[in-house]
Structures are given as structure tokens and as C-alpha cells.
Amino acid sequence: MLRVRVFSLPGGELPADAARASIELSALGDFEPSNDSAEVLPADRAGAALRFPAETQAVQARLPADGVTYAGYGERRGDSAVDLLLWPERETAILASSGYPGRGGGQALGFGAASATLLMAGGNDALETDVIVGTLRLSATTGVVERGGVGSGGLAQPRAFATVTPFGEGFLVAGGQKPLQGVPEAELDLHATAEIVGAPGRLLPLQSARTHHAALALADGRTLLVGGRAKVGNVSIAQYQLEIVDPVELRASVGDAIAPRIDPIVLSLSDGRIFVGGGTLLDGSLSAPVGEWLNAEARRDSTRLDAQVPPRFERAFVATLGGGVLAVGGCEDRPPASQADAAACDVCQSGCPPLDGWDAWWIDADGGASSVSLRGISAPRPVLLPGSDGRPWLVAADGSSPEPSRLFRFNPWGARFDPVDVPSDLRLPRAGFPALALAPDSFAWVDDTEGRGELLGLRLGARSRFTRDVALVLSSDPEDPSRPAHLAPTCAVDERTTYDGALTLADPSLSVLVTDTDYADLTIRLTVVGTALPRVQLGGTTLGGDDCPWPEGSDSSEPLTVVRRGGLAQLRHGGAGSSPCPVGNGRLTVALVAGPRPSVVGRLEIVRKAKAF
């Protein structure tokens, strides 16, 4: 029988009032819900054996206690127990505040999904030795914090503005600079080494000394290093050469050349590719192009960005559905146009507010760009973070103040950002300090506004890959009835794609995805208004088109049905069934797309189970 071990932020222990309250536990997995897939019991008994189905792959929890609601989600990790960390809902949690991380910024953050561990390393406070060689581990399943310092699990070398990525069984802390009090940053020594945290004393030589770079863990386990300020001999450059560090061979090799970028952003996209954007050159001017793509092996991709997207200082980027990217805000590379304009430019770290107003762009997988409204939003140094339902979060100002103190959320159906109603005292990530997504809607970041360095956290949702949705399309989003719940387009919609309680699909190039979830064997049922039939996408395979058409049945009252078992799927229509069509293996996403004629879908139901063909 399954056991669920419940922990709470901060520190892992449930508060006394929460331990006396009742916790609601729901089992998730590839099975239909039943009386055995939900339990309500005292929180201090949550570790008891539960009658959850043997196929349980994850557990979701809610715990209302003394005016605070705690929420959590945990996945099974190969044994009979699920470790589940409860976060206070819509409240900023202090994850670590005494000792390391210290002040001054420069910390590197990374998250290993396999180990559910956050690692923070180094810092820029040259007066505190335990900061510049410090490390901090946070378990995202128990909330327990472990610190390292001089001679006790810290870094072998002082590092600021390094990068952290999961690497084999541990983490790779790569590059960075050696902080020194009173020395200009351009004159600091740079590291041409990386450390494997988790393998004491293990230093790896890099091909280039670099700092203020970006890093990404590739799907095959290697680490990609991108951009940064580098040194060739005694000469500083904006780095253009990619570098790849292999955890098996324990060596670094030179990759392709891209545009030189200091402080770039690198994103892993949902289609497997990599996006590199932003950054500056050595003289402080903006890098061009604004962004470029790499394939899954970190080789240059042929995709080109729409020329209408201008470069900006401090522009924020975040990945969206279907291999897309959002690019938001930032300041223009221009001098003040007048004395009054110079005062307005004070909101920027570099440059000035764009003369045409703050801009944002929704970039699709092919590099095309559509304008996104920032009406009522001031975004000189915005912070973008991944969100569920295809709706990233934006921290910016509301136009009445230059300080980025408001939370907004992207609306993909309206191509705009909407304000979010949260407590006025909610602390949010700030520009210039590292922030990291542990999962969509769950973040950790560094701050020092309280006079000390702190690691803060915030969870705004717990939607997951195993979530069960009932009556999609029929269900409107509770925050905005003009869009369907848990469905989102993969690029900007045109006026022909609409929602009014039913979903009209008209553009065959636009997919509407069931957000955040993926599926093993399943049954999909579609209720269609009229005779025009939509197409269904399972992963990268389109069903209902020329290669795998709907069969011609006689009973039009029957819903369209797709049954997927393993690598095959059968389509059913009007009482007739097709021959099984090949689809991909593994867990697949579900999306809808228009056929040759506009089609209207009134209901979409997905059952995490499939009968025989």
C-alpha cells in the first residue's frame, strides 16, 4: 500500500495548527478515478498506508488550516512512498534566510528535476568568504535546507555569476568570476573551470573562461554553456562560441558559433529546440539578432526571427506552448531626447523607454511574431516566469510606479497580460536577482531587500502532467469566461478562432493544446456541432487527416472517438472504426486543429484508460 509523507515550508515540519487539520489527498495516474483514489484524514496521519490504486504515479494535496491553505504535489519515485511538500497558497515563503546566501547578488541557481533538488552556489559579496564559496541545497520534496561553506561542502573556488545545471548524479557549477572588494568588474579574474558539486574536489577545465553567461542541461545530460564575458589571453570579448560539457567523458568541447552575447537568456522549448535571446556586446550595445535557435543537439537551427522584433536592454523571455517564446519589455538603446525624457530614462538600467511605448511579442515556432498588448503596464526590467495553462507570469509595474511590484498573467486567447489579484504584501521576484522555476507556477528566487540575503519561494498552482480534466471546452476559465479552461492556442489566434461555450477551429496552422498534461493509453471523445470534423494531434501525429482519416459512419449522434493503445490509435465515427494508425510511443500530448473546413467542438473528454480496439 502507498504511503504519503507530508512536509511543509519552511523547514519541512508541519505547523502545529496544520498538523491538527484535515488533509485532502488525491491519487493521480493513468486510471479512472474511484472511491479509492481520494482520502481525507488528519494531517498528522498522512504517513499511514493508503488504499490508493497500485498505478498511482502522483499525489495532490490541499490542507486548509487557520486561515491559510497549503497545497502540494508529489510524484512517485520508484518505491511505495510519495514525498509531498506543502506550500502556503499565494503567500511568499522564506526558504532560507540565515547565513548563506548573503547579500550582493551573483548567486547561481539550478534545479535537478530527477532529484527534485535546487542548488544555489557562490555570490558576489567579497567581504563574506562563506558567501563567495557558499552552497545551499533545497529539497523540493521535503523542504529541508543544507548549506555548505568553507571546508564543509562549499565550492573549491570563490565564484560569482557562475551557472548551475544538473550534471550526472550531482550539479555542475561552471565559470564565473572571482569577487574582490574595490576591483572593477572588467578587471576581475574569470574561471576557466567548472566544479561538480556532489563529487568533492572534482574540477573540470573549460575551453573558455567566462562569466555572466547562461547554461542549460540538454536532454542527453550534457551541459550547454552560452555566451558571457570571456577572456582570450588578457583580452576580454563577448563570447560567441558555444561550449558543451559531457558528464560521462568529464570533458568540455567547443560547439557552434552564434551571435556574441553577455548576460543572454537560454530556454528549452516544448518542441525540443533551444532558444537563445537578449544580451549585450562588450561595449554595452545590444546583441543582434534579438534571438536565435539551436536544435536539440545544440547545433545552429535555420529558423530566423521576424525582423519586426526590436532589441531591448533587460528584455525578458519565457517559453510558451508549441515551441514558442514570449519576449516582453526592456529599454531602447538611445540617449535621452530631452531633459524631461532624461527623467523618464531613470527607470532603465541602460537606455531609455521606447519612444513607441513598452512592447511585447509572441514568437511562434517558425520565428513569426505577433504583438502582445502591455496596456497599463510599465516594463523597463520585467521578470517572466513559466505558468500552467500556457499562461506565463509577469512581474512589472502597473504604470503608476516604476517599481515592478505587480503580478500579471499572459492571456493567450487575447494576446495580452491581465492583472492578478494577490495580497498587497506579497513579495515578488526582482530584476537583477536570480529566479528559477521549480515547476510551472512554482518559483524560487534570491532577494536582499530585508537587509540580509534570502531565498524566497512562491507557489501559485499545482497543475501537473497527471491532472484529470472533465468536460473540456464546456468548462470556461473561472477568471475569464471568454476562454476555455485548460485549453490554449500554440500561437496567436485570428478572428476566426473563437470561444463562446463551444470552440470554433478555423486555422489549420493553429493547434489548441490541452495544457500541461500528457497521456499513456487513453480514450478521447469529441462532440462536434455540424458536419465538419476537426483533427486530433497526439504528440507529433495528426489524426483525422489524409494519412489517418475519420471513418464514414452512419450514426452522426455518436461522438468522435480516438482510442490510443501503445503505439497505435483507432478512430471511431458514427459507429464505424478505422484501421489502427501508428502514433508515437511514450507519453503524448493532446491537441485539436481545424480540418479543411471550420469545425465547432462542443465538448472534449479525455479518459486515462483505453479499451481494446
Give the span between the Cα atoms of 238 and 283, in whole angstroms: 9
Strand 2-8 relative to strand 81-88, pairing: parallel
Report pLDDT for 199.
66
Give the span between the Cα atoms of 121 and 101, in whole angstroms: 8
Cell of 200: 568533492
Give the span between the Cα atoms of 468 and 539, in whole angstroms: 18
Residue 473 has pLDDT above 70, yes or no: yes
By CB atoms closer than 10 A (0-12, 13-18, 19+), residue 505 is: buried
Give the span between the Cα atoms of 165 and 296, in whole angstroms: 17
In the block, cell 481494446 appears at 612
Q: Single out the residue of 320, 503, 302, 322 nearest to residue 415, CA to CA.
A: 320
Average pLDDT (333-343) is 92
Are 149 and 130 in contact by the 8 Å Cβ rule? The answer is yes
Report the range of poorest mean pLDDT among 180-184, 203-207, 504-508, 592-596.
180-184
Going by pLDDT thresholds of 50, 70 and 90, the confidence category of residue 15 is: confident
In the block, cell 552552497 appears at 135
pLDDT digits (tens, 9 = 90+) for 397-420: 987 666 668 999 999 999 999 999
Give the span between the Cα atoms of 444 and 460, in whole angstroms: 12
Going by pLDDT thresholds of 50, 70 and 90, the confidence category of residue 424 is: confident
Give the span between the Cα atoms of 562 and 604, in whole angstroms: 11
Report the range of poorest mean pLDDT among 82-86, 127-131, 552-556.
552-556
Q: How crowded is residue 187: how many other Cβ atoms within 10 Å of its Cβ?
A: 9
Give the span between the Cα atoms of 27 and 446, in whole angstroms: 33
Give the span between the Cα atoms of 348 and 326, in whole angstroms: 20
Give the span between the Cα atoms of 196 and 280, in whole angstroms: 29
Average pLDDT (311-320) is 97
Average pLDDT (6-11) is 82
Residue 254 has pLDDT above 80, yes or no: yes
DSSP string, 551-610: P--S-TTSPEEEEEETTEEEEEETTEEPPPEE--SS-B-EEEE--SS-EEEEEEEEES--
Give the span between the Cα atoms of 572 and 478, in whole angstroms: 32
Going by pLDDT thresholds of 50, 70 and 90, the confidence category of residue 554 is: low
Average pLDDT (14-19) is 76
Going by pLDDT thresholds of 50, 70 and 90, the confidence category of residue 124 is: very high
HSE-up (13 A, CA, CB side) for residue 475: 13
CA–centroid distance for 203 within its chain: 30
By CB atoms closer than 10 A (0-12, 13-18, 19+), residue 202 is: middle
Question: Residues 6 or more apart from 35 whose CB is under 8 A from it?
Answer: none
Q: Single out the residue of 181, 198, 77, 83 nearest to residue 129, CA to CA.
A: 181
Report pLDDT for 17.
76
Whole-model pTM? 0.95
Residue 509 has pLDDT above 70, yes or no: yes
Report pLDDT for 425.
86
The domains located in the chain, with CATH, are 2-88 (2.60.40), 305-421 (2.120.10.80), 476-607 (2.60.120.560)
Specify the 3-state DSSP secondary structure of 516.
coil
Question: Residues 6 or more apart from 445 whose CB is under 8 A from it?
Answer: 109, 429, 430, 433, 434, 435, 436, 455, 456, 457
pLDDT digits (tens, 9 = 90+) for 30-47: 999 899 999 998 887 777
In the block, cell 455540424 appears at 530
Are 386 and 370 in contact by the 8 Å Cβ rule? The answer is no
Helical segments of 383-497, H only: none
Q: Amino acid identity, residue 109?
A: L
DSSP structural state of residue 347: G
DSSP string, 350-379: SSB--TT---EEEE-TTS-EEEEB-TT-EE
Cell of 593: 486543429
Residue 201 has pLDDT above 80, yes or no: no
Are 515 and 441 in contact by the 8 Å Cβ rule? The answer is no
| Residue 141: C-alpha distances to residues 11, 70, 83 (Å) | 11, 14, 5
Report pLDDT for 558.
81
Q: How crowded is residue 7: how many other Cβ atoms within 10 Å of its Cβ?
A: 20
b/e string for 248-278 if b means 16 or more Cβ within 10 A? eeeebeebeebbbbbbbbbbbbbeebbbbbb
What mean pLDDT, rounded, does the chain reach? Answer: 92
Q: Single out the residue of 519, 458, 391, 488 nearest to residue 28, CA to CA.
A: 519
Report pLDDT for 274.
98
DSSP structural state of residue 129: H
